[in-house]
């Protein structure tokens, strides 16, 4: 968050209704749930509340800080699927059998520009930040680095870690495997995770470039969002186990995926004609490095946060030191020229705007720092219930659209 916060003059938080108007500097990439169904909560309130929850669930103060920041940053960026709606799942995992609240992260290997960490079954966020910190230190010495992590859990948005390198002026790369949801090309069942790849690139001024994409045609969070909004899913996202393409009611389709009767298609879609072998090949390659080479689980073996055994998720973090190749100032001048060229391309008539990777997320973040994060009332109430179960007295105000301050 630091990188973003520094660039931002915190606006007034109180009394702002739902607005999304780019011309007055307000923009949200993800439509908030229809008015009346959400409340606006400030970043600070939501983060400190989330922090308290994780401390009560057993995390150290420092680890809780990282997990809370990663989740609330996702909400700020408009990636609510990876935001505080994951809190219950994480807390269930922490209180259940298989997420270790007090992991002893071990540096298993540390040779030259590479390292391997064992996360000891803890959540992926704290170990992810540690791993990227090591990657940055090593890249400053060796020019490039690669740090793998095994025996981890869900780590939230891949871009969070890429930005940690960007904050230090380096190019950051972050990938992870994840529980099976996606079909491998020419097959019909869930075998690959949505295995995202994030690449962050510094710019002289924010926003930095932040490419952060699942290697599936859509992340599962998008189908979850459609389900919540009552929208229909178009043909080309989801494959039934009989080989047919599913479309229609997002709730039904989400159910089919969760029950293992359907799979999300890889980027490039069904078969090879539009590149389904590319998307599933990329997901497979990410799993080979983050899963197979790290010593973590891979493919069908990657577990879930609330599963009956440690999820054994694997991550990979890389950093590239720009100064090893050219002065940062020269790199900045070149990247700004490239961006200028992209921005002045002829826009497609049906497109709203020409966006850089990460630009929508950044504008959404600036907006939500000003007017608060839209939190679905059901999620808000769920968080309060989690708090109550943990004997926490604090609670979020879920009953009106005036953001708590």
- Say how far apart CA 45 and CA 261 lie, in whole Å: 40
- Cβ 284 to its own copies, closest distance in Å? 7
- Minimum CB distance to its own copies smaller for 274 or for 304: 274
Name residue, tokens 């309060």.
384
- Minimum CB distance to its own copies smaller for 51 or for 180: 180
- Cβ 93 to its own copies, closest distance in Å? 25
- Minimum CB distance to its own copies smaller for 58 or for 275: 275
Both tokens of residue 147? 């740090």
| Packing angle of the helix pair 124-142, 61-77 (nearest 10 deg) | 90
- Cβ 345 to its own copies, closest distance in Å? 4
- Cβ 101 to its own copies, closest distance in Å? 27
Pairing of strands 114-118, 144-152: parallel
- Say how far apart CA 88 and CA 101 lie, in whole Å: 14
- Minimum CB distance to its own copies smaller for 1 or for 192: 192
- Cβ 111 to its own copies, closest distance in Å? 5
- Say how far apart CA 238 and CA 269 lie, in whole Å: 9
- Minimum CB distance to its own copies smaller for 46 or for 223: 223
CA nearest 244: which of 271, 221, 268? 271
Are 382 and 49 in contact by the 8 Å Cβ rule? The answer is: no
Are 134 and 154 in contact by the 8 Å Cβ rule? The answer is: no
- Say how far apart CA 105 and CA 224 lie, in whole Å: 33
Residue 231, SS3?
A: coil
- Minimum CB distance to its own copies smaller for 189 or for 384: 189
- Cβ 331 to its own copies, closest distance in Å? 6
Name residue, tokens 């992991």.
103
- Say how far apart CA 313 and CA 302 lie, in whole Å: 6
- Cβ 54 to its own copies, closest distance in Å? 31
- Minimum CB distance to its own copies smaller for 17 or for 351: 351
């Amino acid at each position: 968050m630091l990188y973003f916060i520094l660039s931002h003059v915190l606006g007034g938080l109180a009394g702002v209704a739902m607005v999304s108007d780019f011309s007055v500097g307000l923009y949200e990439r993800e439509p908030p749930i229809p008015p009346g169904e959400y409340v606006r909560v400030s970043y600070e309130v939501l983060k400190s509340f989330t922090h308290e929850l994780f401390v009560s669930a057993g995390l150290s103060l420092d680890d809780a800080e990282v997990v809370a920041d990663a989740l609330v940053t996702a909400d700020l960026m408009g990636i609510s699927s990876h935001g505080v709606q994951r809190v219950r799942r994480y807390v269930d995992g922490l209180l259940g059998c298989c997420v270790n609240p007090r992991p002893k992260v071990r540096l298993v290997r540390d040779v030259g520009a590479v390292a391997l960490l064992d996360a000891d079954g803890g959540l992926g966020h704290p170990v992810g930040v540690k791993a990227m910190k090591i990657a940055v230190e090593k890249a400053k010495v060796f020019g490039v680095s690669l740090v793998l992590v095994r025996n981890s859990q869900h780590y939230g948005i891949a871009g969070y870690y890429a930005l940690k390198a960007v904050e230090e002026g380096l190019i950051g790369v972050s990938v992870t495997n994840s529980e099976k949801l996606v079909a491998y090309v020419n097959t019909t069942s869930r075998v690959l995770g949505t295995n995202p790849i994030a690449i962050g690139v510094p710019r002289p001024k924010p926003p930095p470039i932040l490419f952060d994409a699942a290697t599936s045609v859509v992340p599962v969070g998008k189908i979850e969002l459609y389900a919540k909004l009552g929208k229909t899913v178009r043909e080309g996202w989801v494959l039934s186990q009989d080989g047919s393409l599913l479309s229609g009611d997002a709730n039904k389709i989400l159910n089919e995926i969760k029950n293992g009767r359907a799979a999300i298609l890889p980027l490039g879609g069904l078969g090879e004609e539009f590149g389904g072998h590319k998307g599933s090949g990329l997901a497979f390659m990410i799993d080979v490095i983050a899963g197979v080479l790290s010593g973590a689980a891979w493919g069908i073996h990657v577990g879930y946060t609330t599963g009956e055994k440690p999820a054994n998720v694997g991550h990979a973090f890389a950093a590239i030191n720009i100064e090893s190749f050219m002065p940062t100032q020269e790199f900045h001048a070149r990247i700004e020229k490239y961006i200028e060229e992209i921005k002045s391309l002829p826009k497609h008539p049906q497109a709203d705007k020409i966006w850089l990777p990460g630009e929508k997320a950044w504008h959404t973040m600036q907006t939500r720092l000003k007017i608060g994060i839209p939190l679905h009332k059901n999620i808000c109430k769920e968080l309060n219930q989690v708090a109550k179960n943990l004997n926490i007295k604090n609670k979020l105000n879920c009953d009106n659209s005036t953001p708590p301050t």
